[in-house]
Amino acid sequence: MSSRREFIKKTGLSTLGISLLGNSLLADNRLQRLTILHTNDMHSHIHPFQSGRNKGLGGMAQRSALIKNIREENKNVLLLDAGDIFQGTPYFNMYKGELEIKLMSQMNYDAATIGNHDLDNGLVGLKKQLKHANFPFLIANYNFENTILENTFSPYKIFDKNGIKVGVFGIGIELDGLVPKKLFGNTKYLDPIKISNKYAKLLKDKHKCDLVICLSHLGFKYKSQKISDLRLAKETKNIDLIIGGHTHTFLKKPVISKNLDDKNVIINQVGWGGINIGKIDFVFQQNNYKINLKKSSIFVKNK
């Protein structure tokens, strides 16, 4: 029990902040909370870092304990990963990603997308590990026609979280130049902006999702014009949240950008190696009851 108390103390500040918000607002049953937990670029880091500035941080058993604690407090949780699960420790060299996927399944991940390193053992290497996954890999802009992964992945998935409809779709980075051609074979890379607009619109308009999340492995930003999460946010519509990866960017808090409709898009990424978990708590209101609150008033509370 002492370890549990320790945990509460460690995250006490922020949990308090949320529960205060929760108590005042969520007492009103027309308001609901949804917690998005996310990781990216875990790179086969099963154990905590043993040296360097991240010494003692990370570890999948530790991550799981943290997630379990959060789930105890809040039933409305979505757990997502933005790719590059594979590669980085002998666990991947020896077991080809088997343990990473098994542990993620045990932790009840809801979805992941495909990072470039997840193809480091080729399409066949990823395919072999899928049998260990009880969560889907979502990818909308890779066309696997005429490959062994044809008809394997969905572009998106819709989650119903206690009445809140959440649409999640996956976007991958251009493989050419990052992954040897012989490994990705006939996989076609499709324009992230076009594809994101297509699926975000489908999820928002047709499926009436209350929240549209893009799980992206594009990377946070680049000096060049290369497509990034920042560019994707600006050049699309209907995305509420981009969970990013690839550039191993440690964002202290999410970046808010404006989309083509001048609406807010939240972009977040939490470094790499499982050092951090990103946690975003949304409060939703039921519009037909509320009159006064401004529409989509997204704000970040500084801690």
Query: Does the protein bind another protein through residue 253 (CB under 8 A)?
Result: yes
Contacting residue, 75, 226, 250, 258, with another protein by CB under 8 A = 250
Q: Could you tell me if 37 and 77 are in contact, meaning their C-beta atoms sit under 8 angstroms apart?
A: yes
136-165 residues in contact with another protein (CB under 8 A) are 163-165
Query: Does the protein bind another protein through residue 90 (CB under 8 A)?
Result: yes
Query: HEC states along 158-217?
Result: EEEECCEEEEEEEECCCCECCECHHHHCCCEECCHHHHHHHHHHHHHHHCCCCEEEEEEC
Query: Does the protein bind another protein through residue 295 (CB under 8 A)?
Result: yes
Query: Does the protein bind another protein through residue 288 (CB under 8 A)?
Result: yes
Which string of x and - marks every residue 201-220 that binds another protein (by CB under 8 A)?
Answer: -------x-xx---------
In whole angstroms, give the CA distance from residue 143 to residue 146. Answer: 9
In whole angstroms, give the CA distance from residue 158 to residue 161. Answer: 10
Query: Does the protein bind another protein through residue 46 (CB under 8 A)?
Result: yes
Query: Does the protein bind another protein through residue 69 (CB under 8 A)?
Result: yes
Question: Of 51-59, 122-130, 141-149, 229-237, which segment contacts another protein by CB under 8 A?
Answer: 51-59
Query: Does the protein bind another protein through residue 24 (CB under 8 A)?
Result: no
Contacting residue, 12, 14, 145, 188, with another protein by CB under 8 A = 14
Q: Could you tell me if 108 and 78 are in contact, meaning their C-beta atoms sit under 8 angstroms apart?
A: no
List C-alpha distances in Å: 271 to 39, 124, 142, 224. Answer: 8, 28, 24, 21
How many residues bind another protein (CB under 8 A)? The answer is 82
